[in-house]
Structure 1
Amino acid sequence: MSDRLTTSALPSNLKPKWRERFEFFEQYGEPSSPEFKAAYKNLPTGKRLLIGINWVGFFFGPLYLLVLGMWRRTLTWFAIISASVIVEGVFAIATGIDIPDAFDVGISCGLAMLVAITTNYSYYLKTMKGDNGWNPFSGMRWF
């Protein structure tokens, strides 16, 4: 097998940034694989940000996943976000503690970053592998 992926295996309508991400995933596998981890570590910072984080996903969250056609993962993210809001609300009511705004912002930013980190590989799975499942963490390093 060759070291570089031939670009003919990728859909021709991909934008250059998606093409680069998909080529990386095709060559080194899923983010949880040792090959991916080693290759990702050796990338320059700009390339690591391109491969590992989707900033549109960070700012627009599950709505961006819906635009990309990943409606199942969108529903999963809405469930996760709703559950975090409910848990926080129940905690505040049960204990009588007023949750600080900084805590709310921290949770929101953390969830937004999780969406941003999982979006690129999720879209790769949908486009290249036909996996349009419910699990937004499929193939990720920590799951």
Structure 2
Amino acid sequence: MSEPSVRAAYSDKWQLRFAFFDQHGAPNSASYKVAFKALSSGDRLKVQMNFIAFFFWPIYYLVLGLWKSMLSLLGVALLINLVLVMLDAPESISRGLGFGFSALAGMSANYLYYQQEIKGYKGWNPFRGLF
């Protein structure tokens, strides 16, 4: 766990997220789910979704140093897109999946960054602790 003085270097929003994850664990834990429901709607959005990652996830993941997770997520997205192209699926399906991958990236960025910065995890799994 990092020192409180090190955490002071992070914005209030990141400190809120880190404290919540410290206290309640991963998003797939029972403690997290109960505590998450007790948060105000604004704090729920801060903890659960990262809108910068939603709109610009490959770049934002690189900026945060989450390059392994970015490559994994991008690889899965490209592979699924390739299969859809080979199956001659409608473009609307491809766009829908792109939106879905953006949503997954936005929802996983906060916990991945917490794992990297506080717990020291620098793995390839972009969904670790989410499901």
**Do both proteins adopt the same fold according to a TM-score greater than 0.5, normalized to the shorter chain?**
yes
- Kept in 1, the 8 Å contact 2:81–2:94? The answer is no
Q: Which residues in structure 2 correspond to 1:55-74 (within 5 Å)?
A: 55-74=51-70
TM-score by length of 2: 0.92
Aligned length: 129
Unpaired runs of at least 5, structure 1 = 1-6, 93-98
Per the TM alignment, residue 87 of structure 1 is displaced from its structure 2 partner at its CA by 1.1
Residue in 2 that maps onto 1:100: 90
Pick from 16, 26, 32 the counterpart of residue 30 of structure 1: 26
SS in 2 for 1:136: coil
Alpha-carbon RMSD across the aligned residues, in angstroms, is 1.5
What is the alpha-carbon distance in structure 2 between the residues aligned to residue 70 and residue 102 of structure 1? Answer: 29
Q: More helix per residue: 1 or 2?
A: 2
Which structure has more RCO (C-alpha within 8 Å, separation ≥ 6)? Answer: 2
Of 46, 52, 64, 2:48 maps to 52
Runs of 4+ in structure 1 off by over 6 angstroms are: none
Greater Rg by CA = 1
Secondary structure at 1:14 match in 2? coil
Question: What corresponds to 2:121 in structure 1?
Answer: 131
Identity among equivalent positions (%) equals: 36
1:32 counterpart SS class: coil
Q: Which amino acid aligns with 1:86?
A: L
> In the alignment, what sits opposite 2:80?
84
